[in-house]
Amino acid sequence: MSSNQKSSMHARLSVIFSFTILISLVLAGCASHPNVQPQINSLVIAERFDQALQILQQHKEGYGKNNELLFLLDEGMVLHLSKKYEQSIAAFAQAKAKFDELYTRSLSKISASLIVNDYTMPYRGEDFERVMINIFQALNYAMIGNIEEALVEARDADTTLTAINMQYDPGQKNVYKEDAFARLLMGVLYEISGKSADRNDAFISYVKALDIYEKDYSYNYALSVPEILKENLIRAARYMGASEQKKFIKKFAGIDRREDAFSGKDKAEVYLIHYRGLSPVKIQSSFTAPLPGGLLGRIAFPKYKERNVGDQPYSFQAKRGGTTVVREDTELGEDISAIAIKNLKNRQFRLVAKSVGRSAGKYFLAKKQAENIGKKHGDAAEEAFLFASSLYNIYSEQADIRSWQTLPGEVRVARLQVQPGVYKFYLNADLIGEHALKAGESKVLIYRTTY
């Protein structure tokens, strides 16, 4: 065999070897994407929560070794929707611990993500997903009547966001810095507690919620102040003095309902927390970029795709004997889809920069290896290896499109006041449940729709 033939053979062997590495590494990267999660998501959409829970618990391994947090988030949510609130509390507690643990990642895994892709690392969650744990956990505790622990979780939402944003450089802080709905929920919980000492805290929570809705949510998410917050704030201001209450009555002049005169003693209050629609899902966006020597690399980054389910109105109704006694329309309190989309877009430059750095790093590592191959096997082998590594660079670069898919798209709220008695509660034509209510009692109902 001539020397030229030997060089050609070595080149071909290099290409084969390179493609073997390419395929194995790309498949290893893909393997970390949970393959059970789409099935769980579909069952939640179909409101088959018990079946979703059964598959979750029987096929945890289907989430993959790097997706324990995603498993815990989905498990906590499905248990919550199944009304298994105490079990949901346990699952979300584990999710919270795992989320916090993943903020201290090992250097070896960080290095691996810079060489291959982010699938080599455990899914650490989006910032807003960490706060959603607190919100759903607060509602879990509220549903079992533990208002004190519910308040702990609601307060932790604010503390968590502060801690998360402190980790970013000043020019990289996320747009999602405070959560208005968590503050609104906190105010409601303080009022439900019924303690006179909590009245001041309820007022403070409502004022803070108002400030966030007006200065943050209206600008970033096009979400206006819910009427229910205005009404509750006027009522809470009564305990701060006549002048304070008059200030908010004047500020909110023109609202359709005025409940500041209601003492809360002769009627019962029923709050509806309505989970509506579907959270957005991540998809990959990518473009090719030139590398030295005429080779190409790929820059890949995630973006959210909204799952729009329409905008039909919802009416929360209390009926007695088939007759509607009182009804109120639900209002948007938390636009989870808008928060997710805005905040991922807000840090898109950082994601692109990371992908660029990773693509360049792959190239320079390959270039060094190619030079070594060239010294041993000649120019043909060197060129073949560079070509193969360029293909690897393109196909191994994948955006991390993992996300908490069982989240609703938005959280809506409504509140009814009724005389003591037994009522059936409906959301549009859907029966939520039948409840006997006493004077001065406050109750929270949760309902999920995907339309």
In this structure, are residues 413 and 274 in contact, taking their beta carbons and an 8 Å threshold? yes
Question: What CA–CA distance (Å, rounded) separates 109 from 81?
Answer: 35
Mean pLDDT of 261-286: 84
- Of 194, 173, 95, nearest in space to 443 by CA: 194
In this structure, are residues 270 and 415 in contact, taking their beta carbons and an 8 Å threshold? yes
pLDDT of residue 264: 55
Mean pLDDT of 263-271: 81
- Of 207, 316, 213, 206, nearest in space to 271 by CA: 316
Q: Residue 304 has what DSSP assignment?
A: E
Among 5-9, 201-205, 257-261, 361-365, name the one with the lowest average pLDDT: 257-261
pLDDT of residue 370: 62
pLDDT of residue 407: 96
Question: What CA–CA distance (Å, rounded) separates 392 from 26?
Answer: 8
295-350 pLDDT, tens digit per residue, is 667 778 888 999 877 778 999 999 999 899 999 999 999 999 999 999 888 877 66
Mean pLDDT of 371-384: 68
4-24 pLDDT, tens digit per residue, is 555 555 545 544 454 445 445
Q: Residue 240 has what DSSP assignment?
A: G
Question: What CA–CA distance (Å, rounded) separates 100 from 340?
Answer: 19
- Of residues 405 and 14, more confidence is placed in 405
Any bridge partners for residue 336, and if so which?
none
Residue 250 in this model has a pLDDT that exceeds 80? yes
The two three-digit tokens of residue 378, written as one number:
């000649």
Residue 379 in this model has a pLDDT that exceeds 80? no
Task: Please name the amino acid found at residue 282.
Answer: K
Q: Check residue 392 and give left, alpha or beta (phi > 0: left; psi -120 to 50: alpha).
A: alpha
| Burial of 46: CB neighbours in 10 Å, binned 0-12, 13-18, 19+ | exposed
Query: Are β-strands 421-427 and 268-276 bridged in parallel, bridged antiparallel, or unpaired?
Result: unpaired
For the full predicted model, state whether its pTM sits above 0.95: no
100-134 pLDDT, tens digit per residue, is 888 666 434 444 444 456 777 888 888 899 999 99
Three-state SS for 54-99 is: HHHHHCHHHHCCCCHHHHHHHHHHHHHHCCCHHHHHHHHHHHHHHH
pLDDT of residue 341: 92
> pLDDT averaged over the chain?
82
158-171 pLDDT, tens digit per residue, is 888 888 877 776 66
CB neighbours of residue 105 within 10 Å: 13
Q: Residue 451 has what DSSP assignment?
A: -
Residue 29 in this model has a pLDDT that exceeds 50? no
Question: What CA–CA distance (Å, rounded) separates 205 from 216?
Answer: 16
Q: What angle separates helix 227-237 from helix 242-251, to the nearest 10 degrees?
A: 160
Question: What CA–CA distance (Å, rounded) separates 188 from 194?
Answer: 10
CB neighbours of residue 50 within 10 Å: 12
The two three-digit tokens of residue 318, written as one number:
């209390």
